[in-house]
Amino acid sequence: GAVVSQHPSWVICKSGTSVKIECRSLDFQATTMFWYRQFPKQSLMLMATSNEGSKATYEQGVEKDKFLINHASLTLSTLTVTSAHPEDSSFYICSVPSAGTYEQYFGPGTRLTVT
């Protein structure tokens, strides 16, 4: 399967600051990437679909001005949590879809803690 990396693996930031999380597809180019959020002891919830060369598509209830997504190239998508608050503390996971199937390859996740 494809290798997907995320950076950083964990980050602690102060309330009111912004944090950028990177997701890279190391094996192949991806015009689409997905961002998920997982709260402790809960399931993954899709936040948005990152589209190379166009705007991201956000799921209902996700604030697009707070969670900025930039699909800078065919191998890189970034998620910026702006003006972070403690309730944004979560595990953020990206994925890259496999071409021709419905399988997705997941990154290792980024744990964000906002103090």
Partner 1 sequence: AQSVTQLDSHVSVSEGTPVLLRCNYSSSYSPSLFWYVQHPNKGLQLLLKYTSAATLVKGINGFEAEFKKSETSFHLTKPSAHMSDAAEYFCVVSDPGYNKLIFGAGTRLAVHP
Task: State which residue, 21 or 93, has the beta carbon closest to partner 1.
Answer: 93
Nearer Cβ to partner 1 (19/97): 97
Q: How far is the CB of 23 from partner 1 (least distance, A)?
A: 12
Cβ distance to partner 1 smaller for residue 81 or 97 = 97
Q: Which of 42, 46, 43, 40 is nearest to 95 (CA)?
A: 46
CA distance 79 to 69: 5
Binding residue for partner 1, selected from 23, 25, 34, 112, defined by CB under 8 A: 34
Tell me whether residue 46 or residue 62 sits nearer to partner 1 (CB atom).
46
Residues 6+ apart with CB under 8 A from 34: 46, 48, 49, 50, 94, 95, 96, 97, 104
In DSSP terms, which residues pair with 73 in a beta bridge? 76
Nearest distance in Å: CB 20, partner 1: 20
Distance in angstroms (rounded) separating the CA atoms of residues 47 and 91? 12
Footprint of partner 1 (CB under 8 A): 1, 32, 34, 42-46, 49, 93, 95, 97, 101-104, 106-109, 111
